[in-house]
Chain A
């Protein structure tokens, strides 16, 4: 009996935070009343291993059943009694264990190694460190401790590589298709590749490119943010290269991807190093949601088939490569867990044994059947689009991989170009949404392409995984165990599994819309707005241009400069200014504060008194006329809630002076004067980009207020530092770049409009004062 055999045992487990690992912990706790578990868990950046176990394992809904059976208190007590957590890392020599951890490992009877990087697109070196070297490190550590517990190492059926026909439960190197390669060479080559790619990414040309890409994405967001993004781009590029290197190396040796390839060599290395440690290798095929335990449909994270199924249901993925009569070798997670438990209970055999947990050879699910089931199910239970219309699932034509890939590649390229073009357009607000839409489409296409590339290989893999050892093991367990620990693949009824268990679970996890309308409670936007307007907020900081008013420094300069100009000079002024527009725009895009300094030079020699007086008129004629009433109302709303309202702008003091009564404080650019003339030079760095975040931070610190409790409104990616600095950023009429960023990060986006009915002037010229009407009225009426 499995529970009796495992009772009183201490089991060391790696990979507890993973899909199989979590299910294993749950199973062992629930079905074996008295075994102890030692979990090897990596510490996160912010959380300890213990905390990760608590949050990422025990709080998973897999444990709902056990928690219910035991009651909350006993559950806590039981898990505390039976689980020991040790910090460590399978990608480090000695598993990164401290003395207590080593002692804990030494005290165990069984070790289940299920830690792996299952991402099918892991970077090569990472996959090598974890998948290839991980199992070896486990046995090396055990040997260094002088202990010999039974090691159950979880691998994958796909170590057999791309092949047609039967793939029996045999060692990798015994396969007739195995290419003789030394795994040590693979390890050092992978590490060297990492070094090479890192070096390559640091060449000036590449760094320039990363910087240019950062600027494309963020605009003039200031040096610190751009540096941040540049480095992120570099790391992403390195990772991409290594993913590609992994794919290429795997393909060159006949594996569908780096995962299977590193797992395969991981087995070879393990068996080479195990010494006299008893080892059993368990190789599941594609693990999917649970058939029955802990409950039908339980799944953790998004697995392999889900994204594809959902993309199909959403109508995104119109075609997916595959052979209709091909076999999709899927195995529910509880069968895998039961098999591992059975292996652990049985104990080691004399020779290292290999057990494949797969369905293809005894109870095959054909690709066509799967597609039919999915189509039928979504025809009956369609997803809904944002307009509450049911989405019609596409007809699947089983095309070849090449064709689909080419189509998707073409779409991705075109959407990428369109996105670039739109981003460069001087649009904002609702219009800019289009870029976000294109971006979303492109990402969808890219994702689909990713699936096709990654999983296409699997769907075309026509190997039949032998399960003789599995069935023998199944035969060997007592009949009553077979009920509880079922791992017979032929017990799966695919139709009911797909229809009643798997698809509902996928849809549930995908958080997709399964009914029209029916949105209850406040929308996301309303919730965000309520947070922004909560009395708990401290500061509400506002940008000026395009956040409060549809105007800019050029417009106000044009107004002030033309106020006293006679008609012919006005024309000359307009012509001159229009000619300068491209230069000014380019400068503005490069660096906001350089642009302001450069532009404000024009005020050199301006009569201060007159400019100040004219600014008062400009307030009505330009600023208010182009203001967004809803934005002004929002400022006042914040103020009435007791928030400190601050205007932070690169506009000049005399321009924003009439706005003082609206705000508690105004931080703006101040121009120095000599006597009664302005000098065209600023007294301090204009508050733009990172300086703006700095100003806000200083302000908050001086007033004893918290940025994390503050709100900031801005329209452009050059305001990113300020938006990122506060807890509640609001993108107002965002330009395409900011629209994309806001969407990704789930920020509140507000569309404030000019008062309806107002006409716009591109270059506002001031009405001239002291002008008599030329026509004599008396003559006209005569």
Chain B
């Protein structure tokens, strides 16, 4: 199977309406001919024929490191940390790649006679994973062997006993790490590199850290200077993480990094495959499938719709696996990510259009609340570029999402208050950082919920808002198509009921004949803007 690269389509009169993801639903939109273009992601790369063999090879022939078995010995303390449920999106069909990797690491550890092994979900300030979610990530065999004995668990970054301060970087940034990891003879980190931002020192310096460490790069100043945070070479976020990694290394924490990349096959070859196809190539069957799907989605009650979408598991395939020294491994990984995701785009646009899907890293098995809509549009998707942003400075971003005034009371309690209190007061990231961040971050109730329930940390909604802070600064306006007007206005954006209305509204900012670029994610891609 050959896979076609990404593609930029110039819209003319004969271009059919294009598909926009719209939360738990879809819209078909006709773009103005002559001044619009659609950026399509590359097609899925072929997966590795024998993933298990590839993993074994990576562990035995690591980059800039001794082979894993040589690092394992009887009587040692081994900690295996792994990416949490925010990766990959949507979740992958079983077996999850983490399960495959962890099983092999554990086999080698067993052979070496290692019996002090802990497995930690490196979730930083994300919510704890449930039993079912952990089982999905590591597999039943691993779960049943470790969890009942308390050896497989979620990171608790608010456990005063469980975290240590390793030191500070030359720029005064504190480095905090999970105590078990810090005191282990070896930390094996199992990563899934879904986007170019993931991996490298960010895995440990962020994933196994807490508020004390994170606040040095999860802040407005750093994120405004990360242009973009998906582009490691231009990202202050990464520079800070790498500095912290340096402190981790100097503290004597030995990290064996295993990074994996997946192809972008979200929908498989079944009926869902239509969603990945380019609209002018839709067959009659595709059209019928789409119409049926949309009719079903439109008629289903919201809760059922959410259930059906969240239950979707993607048939990703492994495209690369590499292990060894963190930075060296990550360079290879990044190349592999780019190989799947990069699309060359000529020049910027006046209006960038995006369709926000039903899921982002922070609402797996949950609700995509308005704050997450902002973060996905202005944070994630806006930043999916190398070089320059797709939209020019002062341009307009149009996102399509129902943006309902809905929140998950268990997963996002601090988001509810953030939305009701902070956003009602200000949408300015600098002001909220100054006025509210600490109060939310140190709030005992939120800490209690983060530690004992399944809640994102109190500070997390702020980070989501900061994620979009560069876009907020860069853009001349944001319009949300098909969103709940009240919720959209609370975000500080303008609501429009159709794309046509949105374009009309945008003309106040960018003139009557603006250029429009529709960046058709998901699947995720990265625009290489020249």
Q: Which A residues form the contact surface with B (CB < 8 A)?
A: 616, 619-621, 624-627, 629-630, 632-633, 636, 658, 661-662, 754-759, 767, 769-773, 777-778, 780-781
Contacts of A632 in B (CB 8 A): 413, 445
Residue of A624, A636, A771, A781 near B94 (CB, 8 A) is A781
Q: Given the known inter-chain contacts A624-B449, A633-B420, please indicate yes or no for A757 contacting B413, CB distance below 8 A.
A: no
Q: A756-B406, A757-B404 are in contact. Are A781 and B302 (CB under 8 A)?
A: no
Q: Indicate if the CB atoms of B135 and A773 lie closer than 8 Å.
A: yes
Instruction: Assess A757 versus B302: contact at CB under 8 Å? Given A629-B413, A633-B420, A773-B140.
Output: yes
Expressed in whole angstroms, the minimum distance between the Cβ of A93 and any Cβ of chain B is 67
Q: Which of A625, A658, A758 contacts B452 (CB 8 A)?
A: A658
Whether B410 is near chain A, meaning CB under 8 Å from some CB there, is yes
Q: Which residue of A lies closest to B302 (CB)?
A: A757
Taking a contact as CB atoms under 8 Å apart, the answer to whether B452 and A755 are in contact is: no
Mark contacts of B437-463 with chain A using CB atoms, 8 A cut-off: 1 yes-contact digit, 0 otherwise: 000000011001100111000000000
Q: List, in ascending order, chain B residues with CB within 8 A of A759's CB.
A: 303
Partner of B409, one of A624, A767, A777: A624
Cβ contact within 8 Å between A616 and B452 = yes
Choose one: B93, B306, B421, B444; the contact of A777 (CB below 8 Å): B93
User: How far apart sit A507 and B428, CA to CA, in the bound complex (Å)?
Assistant: 49
Q: How far is the CA of A773 from the CA of B132 in the complex (A)?
A: 9
Q: For the complex, what is the distance from the CA of A629 to the CA of B420, rounded to whole Å?
A: 10
> How long is the Cα–Cα vector from A544 to B339 in the complex, in angstroms?
56
CB of B417 within 8 Å of the partner chain: yes
Partner pick for A756 among B131, B404, B444, B452, CB 8 A cutoff: B404
Residues of B within 8 A of A620 (CB): 410, 453-454
B27 on the interface (CB 8 Å rule)?
A: no
Report A295 CB to chain B, min CB distance, Å.
48
**Top 7 A-B pairs, shortest CB-CB distance:** A777-B94, A757-B406, A755-B409, A759-B303, A620-B453, A661-B448, A629-B416
CA distance A220 to B311 in the complex (A): 45
- B315 interface hit (Cβ, 8 Å): yes
Q: Does B408 contact A (CB under 8 A)?
A: yes
Total contacting residues, chain B, CB less than 8 A: 33
Additional 17 contacts, C-beta under 8 A, given A625-B409, A773-B140: A620-B453, A624-B409, A624-B410, A630-B420, A632-B413, A658-B452, A756-B404, A756-B406, A757-B306, A757-B367, A757-B406, A757-B408, A759-B303, A767-B132, A772-B144, A777-B93, A777-B95
Q: A619-B452, A769-B131 are in contact. Are A661 and B409 (CB under 8 A)?
A: no
B146 touches A (CB below 8 Å)? no
In the complex the two chains form, is B410's CB within 8 Å of A781's CB? Answer: no
Q: Specify which chain B residues have a CB less than 8 angstroms from the CB of A629 in the assembled complex.
A: 407, 409, 413, 416-417, 420
Q: Mark B110-142, 1 if CB is under 8 A from A, else 0.
A: 000000000000000000000110011000100
Q: Name the CB-closest residue of B to A768.
A: B131
A604 → B minimal CB distance (Å): 28
A-B contact pairs, 15 of them (CB 8 A): A619-B452, A619-B453, A620-B410, A625-B409, A625-B410, A627-B409, A630-B420, A632-B413, A632-B445, A658-B452, A662-B445, A755-B416, A772-B144, A777-B93, A778-B94
Residue B405 is within 8 A (CB to CB) of chain A in the complex = yes
Separation in Å of the A767 CB from the closest CB of chain B? 8
Bound-state CA distance A632–B413 (Å) is 10
Question: How far does the alpha carbon of A778 sit from the alpha carbon of B140 in the complex, in Å?
Answer: 13
Q: Which residues of A contact B303 (CB under 8 A)?
A: 759
Q: For the complex, what is the distance from the CA of A432 to the CA of B286, rounded to whole Å?
A: 49
Residues 325-363 of B contacting A (Cβ, < 8 Å): none
Distance in angstroms between the alpha carbons of A661 and B144 in the assembled complex: 32
A627 nearest CB neighbor, chain B only = B409
- Please determine whether B445 and A756 come into contact, CB atoms closer than 8 angstroms: no
* A780–B92 alpha-carbon span in the complex (Å): 12
Chain B positions within 8 Å of A633 at CB level: 416-417, 420-421
Contacts of B413 in A (CB 8 A): 624, 629, 632
The CA-CA distance from A630 to B420 in the complex, in Å, is: 9
| Residues from 366 to 415 in B contacting A, C-beta threshold 8 Å | 367, 404-410, 413
- Minimum CB–CB distance from A334 to chain B (whole Å) comes to 56
Is the Cβ of A780 less than 8 Å from the Cβ of B420? no
- Least Cβ distance of A733 to chain B in Å? 16
Q: Given A624-B413, A632-B413, A781-B94, A756 and B407 touching (CB < 8 A)?
A: yes
